[in-house]
Amino acid sequence: MPSRESSAAYLRHVGDLEGNAGQQAAYNSCGHCVVLAGPGSGKTKTLVLKLARMLAEDVRAPRGVACITYSQECARELGRRLEALGLRDAPNLFIGTVHGFCLRHLLMPYARFAGIEVPDPITVATTRQIETTFTRVAENLLGINQPYRLHHMGKYRRVHLDRDLPDWMADPDLARITIGYERALRDAGLVDFDDLVIQGNRLVNDNDWVLPVIAARWPILAVDEYQDLGLPLHRIIHRLAFDGGVRLFAVGDADQSVYGFTGADGGLLLELGQRDDVECVRLQLNYRSAGQIIRASELALGEARGYRPHDPARQAVVAFVERPGGLKDQAAHVVDNLIPEALAEKPGRTLGDIAILYRAAPVGDLFADALAAAGFDYIRVDNAAPYKKVGLTSWIEDCAAWCSGGWRRGRPQLTGLIQRWTGFRSGRVSEIEERRAARVVTEFLFRHRGDDTPAAPFVAAIRAELVDPLSAAEPSLADQREQVRRMGVAFAPEGRLVDLDLSSLGGRDGSPQHVNMLTLHSAKGCEYDVVFMVGMDMGAMPWAKESEAELSESRRLFYVGLTRARDAVHMLYSGWTIDRYGRVRRLGRSSFVEELEVRLKVEGI
């Protein structure tokens, strides 16, 4: 339990909200509240201070506040912010993904009593098990050349929740595949991540008795990036808040809803904010970007939002760069000219202040080769990354950050690392087990402190002594165990990261010494001084033959890219692309780029 002094530490930061009516309204809200937060509007700061206030003033342990996030990295960032307030290790605070919340606080304690069909113990299938099960079932039903992919079934399951309604048979083949796939997983004693949320929705919506039980434990529920979380969570939230008496604090931006291919729907957030019993607050002051970038992003979106810069005097660069030689020409120009110019433009600017954003991982391959040839280090976050960011891999990275100097600065905090470690265990952890875990983790970390030591021996040691034994004993960590294995491969001899040092491993989510390479999807939530949006050509941004809904989502993705920049955004294009058959397609530059340049000229920007 945090001390009274640390619990009140948030009060020293409340003054940061002065002068921002939207942030103050969100902070002072007493009932259900939806915060519509534009890019760079201080959303995370507002959410963190609100969480701290609700923990200190509105609940008393063991009752608490649960904060659900879209991704592991969102949870990680919130945890870091709360660590600074001394609240990350509060026992009555949950910060984690929707899957983690459904697993640990819905299904594990209540599924058996409600007759929900999940294995006991709940074992999450690995990525490989999921893929092979889907392929086997789909091919058995429809033949070896069947047209569906795993993501088709995933979206279908997340959108069609009511299987007793005619809507469930909108696509009979996908419905059959889904039923066969789920049956095959159950026969193997497994669930997947979608099961956790889908079954969590069934638990909450089909069982009135569970509502007061959940409300007794979690009387307040906060949701970050609400627009990305989809219909199953929306139904869970709706039921808990408006039937179960749980107080809701939701934050998001429908304009940054870019996961429609997974079933996410930004309209659900807007629908929530329009209810009469919900206070809707808008954050419109942008602390990140200079005015030209804010205006350019609104023009790109095609809708006025009334966003304004915190510092109207700041100037920015919005540049359109044609490189007719294709992606390799773009990469050479970025590496040889634009990066050196960006570093020279502002004293103290480092490679970590620069990002290269692209639509798909193969584009990243070309830029990674160019950066490596020029001697620039880089951090890459896309499907070509050697391992995914999950709870265990992020914890290993943060342990590396602590060992490589973080212990001097108190970031990350040792208590937070220990609390996260014990949180990986399913079921209740006794005080004796907590003390033992604290001792084991502390001893390990103190033995491995060192600023410039190689990361590979550290990864091998933390796996052997801590992570592998735990993940082998916890069925719910099966999928994470696969990512830890991939991490080990990356740091093995001849692995892609074998030469990485401990400090760089600890900074793999953002390091001053590394150019940041991200897909546009991965860049959401990030910010940089200078952004290079590359491959901005028709056929790639947007893709060829997109539906109206897909085109709208691509436009929002383009908007996300623009709004990552503080000082400068450069859009690079060639006017042609190469399709998957190796054919050159000369479709011109992106229609989004074309429209934006015309609109900026009309406005004289």
- Binding-site residue ranges for ATP: 37-44
Residue 478 CA to residue 159 CA, distance in Å, equals 26
3-class state of residue 291 by DSSP: helix
With 0-12 / 13-18 / 19 or more C-beta atoms within 10 angstroms meaning exposed / middle / buried, residue 434 is middle
Within its chain, how far is the Cα of 239 from the centroid? 25
Compute the distance between CA of residue 326 and CA of residue 598 in angstroms, rounded to an integer: 23
How far, in Å, CA of 72 to CA of 390, rounded? 6
Q: How far apart are CA 85 and CA 517, in angstroms?
A: 31
How many residues belong to the chain? 605
User: For residues 63 and 206, what is the distance between their CA atoms, to the nearest angstrom?
Assistant: 24
% helix, strand, coil for the chain, step of 5? 55, 15, 35
Query: In angstroms, rounded to a whole number, what is the distance separating the alpha carbons of residues 385 and 408?
Result: 30
Closest to 482 in 3D by CA, of 130, 134, 182: 130
- Residue 299 CA to residue 357 CA, distance in Å, equals 20
Residue with tokens 């960011």: 389
Calpha distance 419→75 (Å, rounded): 14
Q: What's the rounded Cα separation, in Å, for the pair 492 and 502?
A: 14
The whole-angstrom separation of Cα 117 and Cα 554 is: 38
Please state, in angstroms and rounded to a whole number, the distance separating the CA atoms of residues 334 and 569.
12
List the Cα angle 441/447/452 in 5-degree steps. Answer: 115
**CA–CA separation, 472 vs 468, rounded Å?**
6
- Which residues does the annotation place in the binding site? 37-44
Tokens in use for 337?
């000219």
CA dihedral 203, 207, 211, 214 (to 10 degrees): -40
Tokens representing residue 543 in the block: 């893709």
Cα angle, residue 8 at apex, residues 6 and 11 outer, rounded to 5°: 130
Q: How many CA atoms lie within 13 A of 39 on its CB side?
A: 31
Beta strand 584-585 pairing with 577-578:
antiparallel
CA-wise closest residue to 68 among 228, 217, 213: 228
Cβ neighbours of 400 (radius 10 Å) = 26
130/160 Cα distance (integer angstroms):
20
Report d(CA 320, CA 254) in Å as an integer. 27
Half-sphere exposure for 179 (CA within 13 Å, toward CB): 9
